Structure 1
Amino acid sequence: MHAFLVSQIPKDLPLSPDVYHLMPEKSIGIEEVRSLQAFLIRKPLQLPENIAIIHQAEKLTLPAQHALLKTLEEPPGNSRIYLVTSFPDQLLETIISRCQLEKNELKTDSDNHDAYPETLPEFITKLQKAEIGERLELIDSQNFTRDSALEFLSHLEYYLHQNLDLKISYQLIVDTRKYLKSNCSVRLSMDNFSLNL
C-alpha cells in the first residue's frame, strides 16, 4: 500500500466501488476509520487496487489517528490511502512520516490508467444525453450493490460541491439515498435516479 498526504483531490478520480470517500461531518472518529480499514482489506472489484480518500484529514480525532496509524504500519496489499488536508500540522508526526508528501493534485499511476473505468462527470454526462432505454442499460451495467450505490451518491455529492459543470438536482441525490437506506430495491432506486437526471 502507498499512503499520500495531499492538499487536493483529483477531478478525474475514477467512478468505482473500489474508491472509498471518508468525509467528516464535525470530526472523523474511530468507527469511521474502522469502516475504512474493512474496505481496504477486501478484494478490489474493478480496479487494480482499493483507493481510500480521507477528506479534511485534520478532522481525524486522536484515537482515530492512532487507529489509522496501525493500518499505515501494517498495510493491506493492493491499496492506496490519500489524506487530503491543508493543515498537516494537525496530524501526528508518525502519520506524516509514513506518507508521501504531494503538494499538488493526487494523480493515478499512468500505468494503471487504462484499467480505470470512465470518470464520474463523463459517466453522468453520458447518462444525461442517453435515451431512456440506454440510460437504464448504462446504470444497470454498473452492477450496484446497496453499499456501492451509496458510495456513488456520496462521490457525486462531493463532486457537485467542488464543481459547477454538472447540472443535477441535489434533491435527487437525497431522495435516492433515502430509498436505498429504506431497503428499496437497489436496481429500481438507481433506475429511478438515472431516469430523473
Structure 2
Amino acid sequence: MNKDIIKYFIDRVIRVNRGGPESRIGKVMDVGDDFIVLLTEEDGVVYYNTNQIKSFTENMKGQMEFNIEVPNDFEFKNAANFQDLLDSLKFQWVKINRGGPEKIEGVLSDITKDFVSLVNKEEIVRLSIFHIKNISFGVKIEKEDEEKSNNQASSKTGSQETNQSKMAESKKQESRQKVVKSNNNSRNKKNKTKN
C-alpha cells in the first residue's frame, strides 16, 4: 500500500484486513516506509508489514469499537522501515503473527536482510522477513474496565495469576540469557581465532 495513502489514517481507528487471525481493529499511531504502528485492545502495539496488508476499513460513522484512552506520553518503537524496526527489537521477547500456523514467539536473536532468528526454549526458528505479517513486543495499555474488575477479583485468583506470570517471565528471562550467552561464546571463539 502507498505510504501517502496510509498516512491519511494516522490517529484514526481502522480494521486491518477483513478477517482471519491477522485482522485487528485499532488506532493508527504512526506510519513507516513499509509498516504501520497499530494500537489494539487485544495485543497492545502491533507493527504491521504493509507488504502483507490486504485492506484497510474505516467506518464512516466512527462506530468501530476502540475503548482505550491513549496517554499523551505513550511511547512505542519508531523506525524508518521494517528492517530498522526489527533491528531495534533485537534481544526482545516478541510475538510474530497473530494466529494460525505461522504464529510464533521468542527472543529475537539474529536479524539479516532476508530472515530473523527466534529463540524459544531449546529451539532456534529462522523465519523469512517476507512472511512476517506483523510483530509485537508487549507494550500494552490496560482498559479501565479491566483494571476495575481485576481489583475486585479474589486474592486466590490474583495469586494464581501472579505465579503464572512469574513463571512465564522466568522462561522469557532464561531464553534471553541463553541468547546473550550464545552470542558471548561466539564472540569469544572469534577473538581466540584472531589471536
What is the TM-score normalised by the length of structure 1? 0.23
Structure of higher CA gyration radius? 2
* Structure with the bigger percentage of helix: 1
* Structure with the bigger percentage of strand: 2
